[in-house]
Each structure stands twice: as C-alpha cells, then as structure tokens.
Amino acid sequence: MEVGLIVLFWYGVLHAFGADHIVAIINFSLGKSKTKTFLITFAFAIGHGLMLFIFAKVLQEFTSIDSYLGYGDIISSSVIIAMGIYLIYLVNAKKIILDKHMHEGKEHIHLSFAKNHTHKKTDTKSAFIIGSLMGIGGVRGMLITLGVINSQSVDFTMVMAFVLGVSLVFICFGFIINYINENVLNSTKNIKRVFTTAGIVSILVGTNMILG
C-alpha cells in the first residue's frame, strides 16, 4: 500500500504541471493577498483531487468509458476558456480597481473587482468548485494510475497522497504568483498587461485542449 501511495503522490505532482492547472491557478490568484493565494491553491487541489477520485471510481464500473472521458475533457477545457474570457472582460470593462492605502505606516496595494474595498471569502470556495470541475478532465490518468497499483478501493489516505502531490506544485507556484502580485501589479498599466495576457493564454490553452 505504501508503494501505491508514493505512486499516487508523484502522479499528483506530474498532474499539477499540466498547462490547464497552472493557468487556472494564475487566473484565480492574480491580485490576491499572500494568504488568499495559498488558500486558493490548496482549495483547488482538494476539490480537484476529491472529484477526480470520485469519477475515476465511478467510471471503473464501465467497460467502455471513452465517451465519458471525452465529456470530462470538454468540461475542463470549457472552464479554462470561460476563465480567460472573464479576465479579458474585467480589463476591458475596467472592473479591476487598484487601491493604494497605508497600513501601519506602510503602503498597501490592493486589487479589487468592485467599488467597495472588501475582503470576500468566495474566492476559496470558487477555487474548490473549479478544481472539482476540472478534476473530471483528469480521470483518464487516474484510472491508469489506479490500474498500475492494482487497487480497487479508494480510501482517504489515497486521496490525500494525490492532493499532497498536487498541492506541493501549486504552493511552489503560488510563491511566483505572490511575487507578481506584490511587485508587478502595482500600476494600472501592468495590471492590464498581466490580466490580458493571462486571459489570452487561458483561452489558447483551453482551445488547444479541445482541438487536441
């Protein structure tokens, strides 16, 4: 069983390096505080891992699953494209507000997507939901991995092994996003460039997934 957990952990690490996952994390974490950035990455990883395992287990009961896996890929790709379109909309509709103010004698830069300066907790929930939806698209790889370790039952330790693998990559990448948030997103010009670029890349990645 220990070997199986190691296999699932490394599958989670490799799985997290997928372009669609990195793009999703970027889209959700841009303009967020350090704490929220890491909460978002972890919530995405948990939702992704749980949903992927659930669907993998359900689809194991079918003898022919290609059509179901195809739908999963379409859902995952559509989510990425929708996120890209939304980012570009935020830029063009001037919904991204740069707010500079002082906290304990230090300048604090905050990005918000509403007129009122608020700290909402919906981002973490949304990341969990999006991670869950995108988990459907990774079922094929999970089925192969479960076949390799010859396991017919999914328990909590197996789920956590995969989630830890995904989280390790996401958290490391979170440091990069946090650097961009603190050192690049400090002017309206940079904000437009970064968000527009992220939106375009997101659309291209999602489109490539569907066509591929």
Residues 46, 38 contacting (CB under 8 angstroms): no
Encoded amino acid at 161, one letter: A
Domain boundary assignment for the chain: 2-211
The tokens 């995108």 sit on which residue? Answer: 134
| Residue ranges of the chain whose pLDDT lies below 50 | 116-119
The model's pTM? 0.73
Task: State the pLDDT at residue 101.
Answer: 60
Tens of pLDDT, residues 136-150: 666 666 666 666 555
Distance from C-alpha of 210 to C-alpha of 81, rounded to nearest angstrom:
10
Task: State the pLDDT at residue 116.
Answer: 47
Task: State the pLDDT at residue 117.
Answer: 46
β-bridge pairing 106-112 and 97-103: antiparallel
Three-class DSSP labels, the chain? CHHHHHHHHHHHHHHHCCHHHHHHHHHHHCCCCHHHHHHHHHHHHHHHHHHHHHHHHHHCCCCCCHHHHHHHHHHHHHHHHHHHHHHHHHHHCCCCEEEEEEECCEEEEEEECCCCCCCCCHHHHHHHHHHHHHHHHHHHHHHHHHHHCCCCCCCHHHHHHHHHHHHHHHHHHHHHHHHHHHHCCCCHHHHHHHHHHHHHHHHHHHHHHHHC
Task: Select from 162, 171, 165, 168 the least CA-distant residue to 50.
Answer: 162
Tens of pLDDT, residues 124-133: 888 888 888 7
Task: State the pLDDT at residue 149.
Answer: 56
